[in-house]
Amino acid sequence: MSVVLEMTGVVRVHGQGAGEVVALAGVSLTVREGELVAVMGPSGSGKSTLLNVAGGLDTATSGSVQVCGREIAWLGAAERAEVRRQDVGYVFQDLNLVPALTAAENVALPLELDGVRAGVARERAIAALVLVGLESARDRFPEDLSGGQQQRVAIARALVGRRQLVLADEPTGALDSVTGDAVMRLLRDRIDAGAAGLLVTHDARHAAWADRTIHLRDGRILRSDGAGEPADLMEADA
């Protein structure tokens, strides 16, 4: 299976001098097509920074980040934005839905930015909303949706289209367990259909959907578990 994300010796330092914070202290990670990797670790261990650097929202201080064979660590902002648009789907902790766009328009937006015709983009967006159980909300604006519904719109937006790398930072946080499980099913199906994913979660039940789990501590990968590890090991991070 082809390598979608290849991070080698990635360091990310925030701030300078006495205020310096090493958010990533030399992370190397390979994620292939068809693989979902769970990322666990205490608050402040670098999970969000890892996803931001992997998706080109943030830049590494040193080290290499390749997405679909393209080195993004040293690209300029405009080129990184292009890689993000073409290859990366995100679900953030703060959802970043566009308030002036309806649910369907929010989901269609990355497709349209990719050059998909408006009518086709809308059809695909509605199909994605059906998958997350939100077809009836397609013409409503984010402010008229509950937190859980907004989260499902954000998930539909990340999973629509052909982007190869899906990055999800606690995507099930505001969802009840039934909806959370449905979202994990969607994410898993999207990965199985030909993408690679990183999933930040505190929930060992959700990490169990992944092919392996990496445990971060102080910006380093402490250990990496295959599927089927005892749940109590993963629970230690929750």
Ligand X SMILES: Nc1ncnc2c1ncn2[C@@H]1O[C@H](COP(=O)(O)OP(=O)(O)O)[C@@H](O)[C@H]1O
CA torsion 223→229→232→236, rounded to 10°?
A: 20
Q: Which of 18, 43, 76, 115 binds ligand X (CB under 6 A)?
A: 43
Q: Is the dihedral of CA 142, 55, 216, 199 positive or negative?
A: positive
Residues contacting 150, CB < 8 A, separation 6+: 95, 97, 142
Q: Does 21 bind ligand X (CB under 6 A)?
A: yes
Q: Does 48 bind ligand X (CB under 6 A)?
A: yes
Residue (50 or 131) nearer to Mg ion, CB = 50
Upper half-sphere CA count for residue 150 (Cβ side, 13 Å): 18
**150 forms part of the interface with ligand X (CB under 6 A):** no
Judged by CB under 6 A, the stretch of 42-50, 84-92, 138-146, 229-237 that binds ligand X is 42-50
User: Is 172 an interacting residue with respect to ligand X (CB under 6 A)?
Assistant: no
Sheet holding 36-40, edge to edge: 88-91, 165-169, 196-200, 36-40, 212-217, 220-226
Size of the site for ligand X (CB under 6 A): 12
Question: What is the rounded end-to-end Cα distance, in angstroms, of the chain?
Answer: 31
Q: Does 55 bind ligand X (CB under 6 A)?
A: no
Q: What torsion, rounded to 10 degrees, do the Cα atoms 143, 148, 149, 155 define?
A: 110
Among 4, 7, 10, 23, binds ligand X (CB under 6 A): 23
Answer yes or no whether residue 45 interacts with Mg ion by CB under 5 A: no
Verify binding: residue 14, ligand X, rule CB under 6 A: yes
**Residue of 10, 12, 48, 219 interacting with Mg ion (CB under 5 A):** 48
Tell me which stretch binds Mg ion (CB under 5 A): 31-39, 48-56, 69-77, 207-215. 48-56
Of the residues 49, 86, 151, 164, which one makes contact with ligand X according to CB under 6 A: 49
- Residue sitting closest to Mg ion (CB): 48
Residue 5 half-sphere exposure toward CB, CA atoms < 13 A? 30
Measured distance CA(228)–CA(147) in Å, rounded: 32
Does 131 contact ligand X by CB under 6 A? no
52 belongs to the binding site for Mg ion (CB under 5 A)? no
In degrees, rounded to 5, the angle at the alpha carbon of residue 237 between the alpha carbons of residues 232 and 238 is 90
At its nearest, how many Å lie between ligand X and the CB of residue 80? 17
- Residue whose structure tokens are 């983009």: 121
Positions in the binding site for ligand X (CB under 6 A): 14-15, 21, 23, 41, 43-49
- Interface contacts to Mg ion, rule CB under 5 A: 47-48
